[in-house]
Chains A and B, each alone.
Chain A
Amino acid sequence: MNKEKAVIVAADMITAYGFGIPACWDGIFSKKTAISRLRRFSTKAFQSDYAALINDLEYHGSESLVMQTLKKLFYKAAPKIPEDARLILATSKGEIDLLEKQLLEKRDDFSKCRLDRLLKKAAALIMVKDTGMIISAACASSTTALAQAASIIRAKRSDCVIVVACDSVTEFVFSGFSSLMALDKTYARPFDNKRSGLSLGEAAAFALIMSESRAKREKRKIMGKIAGWGLSNDANHVTAPSRSGSGLAAAINKALQTADIDYNEIGSISAHGTGTVYNDAMEMKAFSTVFGDNKCPVYSIKGAIGHTLVTAGLIEAIIALRSLKEGVIPPTVNLEEVDEDARGRVFAASCSIPKNKMALSTNSGFGGINAALILSEP
């Protein structure tokens, strides 16, 4: 059967480093973290007062943080998005700051905070005809959304899908992560032996995905291909990852199967790498299970831009594509002394990767959700 290939023809992002992919790429390579002191709300009672925030957003103003961010993101890009594109919006907390505002002002118009309302606003902003769908799979949401976009294209249900992801740092989210004791006191240090938690970050990003045949027909510049994808669940615990890493390993194996490749064809791994003790250890177990003695280099960008929740997977996929193009993987920012489990795989410095190999990008989230993508050059 002739399977349609899904290719990424456009993408962009806003992170704490600023607008655009170059700002994020250069920021990570500067090795200076974008995580800094948080002033948006009082953090006196919390585990940490650090986060990676986007500048110039108004908190509890007339518009939600994610809508302000999406407007910046699509200010120039929206007219270039084909109006027949199907829309997938990845979000978990959406416009949660509107709910905060309602409750703080002792009002009860909660309809404004519904996820389907955000979906309608996003569709109007991007100017697509499709009414769209929301995908939410905890911190694996945008990876899951990319997988579904590729699946839709492979099934020939559409030849053009836009995946948009957004979440913001609010008192709601920050207090919740603090209550779960998941935050590092200062900066997240993925794969470091003194890591003690994650740092929250906020971001928005999009990727325009087309069938390869349409992209070629329209003479689009192809950034890369979504060659494979795999989703799984640990079926283990609602907040903690499976200690064995078997769920993530299953997702990776599924992605290799979808891509119809052997693990030796993977040249780099963009890990979820949150900086929590259990997540990072679980990931190393999963990578060892799949890759054995093959020490494919692994990196995490969460020490640089924080854990951007649902947006993390999309940003990481875009950075992984840039990495394939440049032939170099980003440094793992804030890594000082690599954990024993990660030795020989994770490095504080950037390093070159072999040409003609593919990249693996993985994410995991609460509820034991795992998602893996395999990306290749055009």
Chain B
Amino acid sequence: MVTYGYNWVWDMIVVCGLGWVHKGLSSLPDKNDVFPSQFDNFGRLDAASKMTCYAVGLALKNAGFGCPVKHKQAVGIIAGNGTGCLSADINYFKDYLDNGRTLGRGSLFIYTLPSSPLSEAAIYFGLAGPLFYMAGADKTFAQLTSLAADMIRNNEASVMLAGMTGNESAFFLVLSRASNNAGSILCDIAQAESILNKGTDFSNIIKEFSALQNKNIGKD
């Protein structure tokens, strides 16, 4: 295990990977770099699900999990935002109205659950642990990251992905116990919580975590 000079407490919850995408679907990385095996029906996913799958893929890869996870494993995923799946709701109901209020489109309806993007990521990556959408009135990311850490402490999952999702951007951290981590450690949970408690501005969060990562790479 790479420790970068820190004395990690064996039982400590740590951040061991991160991945993000932003600026919408037009600026995504090469699909083959993130999804090396066939991703059936990727084209039918809504924008939030595509962004989520990319960010999860990058985070798992960064944590050294390899993509895709070959066997289902007890990795959980929780994520949120403020709006739920509002754009998917609008898309579904507009389409339904355009069809004369007679025919709803099931392929649009399935994305009207805030948890659906997480489910799409779970299906591709074999994430068989706890899965739910969570949103707070403020500092959602900080709240859900603390919750994810508690779930590891309570042995509800061995690894948790905690993140933010949306149509334009998605960001995920991989949390695990220091003892369960074979790759590099970015920071401990307290440091992550302190970054996240500063606010929810997406680009600032990315900058702070990227700075941590670059610092650690420098020590390698």
Residues of chain A whose beta carbon lies under 8 Å from any beta carbon of chain B:
42, 44-45, 92-94, 96, 99-100, 103-104, 110, 113-116, 119-120, 123, 131-138, 141, 144, 148, 151-152, 154-155, 157, 171-172, 175-180, 229-239, 247, 250, 254, 257-258, 365-369
Contacts and interface: CB of A to CB of B under 8 A. Distances in A.
A144 B147 CA distance: 13
Contact of B89 (A99, A134, A141): A99
B93 A233 contact: no
A232 B151 CA distance: 12
B72 to A, nearest CB: 5
B103 A45 contact: yes
Interface in B117-144: 118-120, 122-123, 125-138, 140, 143
B94 A103 contact: yes
B193 interface: no
13 contacts: A99-B89, A99-B93, A110-B90, A116-B82, A119-B135, A136-B113, A171-B101, A231-B156, A232-B130, A366-B116, A368-B131, A369-B115, A369-B132
What are the 5 tightest A-B residue pairs by CB atom distance, in nearest-first order? A367-B119, A131-B137, A231-B130, A179-B104, A176-B109
Contacts of B112: 93, 172, 176
Nearest to A171: B101
A144 B132 contact: yes
A131 to B, nearest CB: 3
A237 B41 CA distance: 12
Given A151-B150, A238-B110, A137 B115 contact: yes
Most buried by B among A42, A154, A155: A155
B155 to A, nearest CB: 8
Contacts of A137: 115, 131-133
Contacts of B66: none
A154 B154 contact: yes
B25 interface: no
B70 to A, nearest CB: 12
Nearest to A133: B136
Contacts of A257: 155
B209 interface: no
B195 to A, nearest CB: 20
B86 interface: yes
B127 A233 contact: yes
A132 B80 CA distance: 14
B105 interface: yes
B59 to A, nearest CB: 17
A51 B157 CA distance: 37
B129 A367 contact: no
Contact of B150 (A155, A232, A369): A155
Contacts of B101: 42, 45, 171, 175
Given A96-B89, A131-B136, A175 B126 contact: no
Contacts of A230: 156
Nearest to A96: B89
Interface centre among B80, B94, B131, B155 (most CB of A within 10 A): B131
B102 interface: yes
Given A172-B96, A178-B104, A369-B131, 17 more contacts: A103-B94, A113-B89, A115-B82, A116-B82, A116-B136, A135-B133, A175-B96, A179-B103, A179-B105, A235-B125, A235-B127, A258-B156, A365-B115, A367-B119, A367-B120, A367-B131, A368-B119
Given A45-B103, A135-B134, A155-B150, A235 B72 contact: yes
B114 interface: yes
A168 B80 CA distance: 22
Interface in B55-72: 72
Contacts of B183: none
B113 A366 contact: yes
B123 A235 contact: yes
A119 B155 CA distance: 29
B113 A92 contact: yes
Q: Which of B72, B89, B94, B132 has the most CB of A within 10 A?
A: B132
B130 A233 contact: yes
A368 B83 contact: no
Contacts of B134: 133-136
A285 B138 CA distance: 41
B24 interface: no
B217 interface: no
Nearest to A369: B131
A366 B131 contact: no
B109 A367 contact: no
B166 interface: no
Given A96-B89, A176-B104, A368-B123, A157 B138 contact: no
A154 B153 CA distance: 11
Contact of B76 (A113, A231, A366): A231
Contacts of A231: 76, 129-132, 156
B106 interface: yes
Contacts of A103: 90, 93-94, 97
Contact of B132 (A44, A104, A135): A135
Nearest to A182: B106
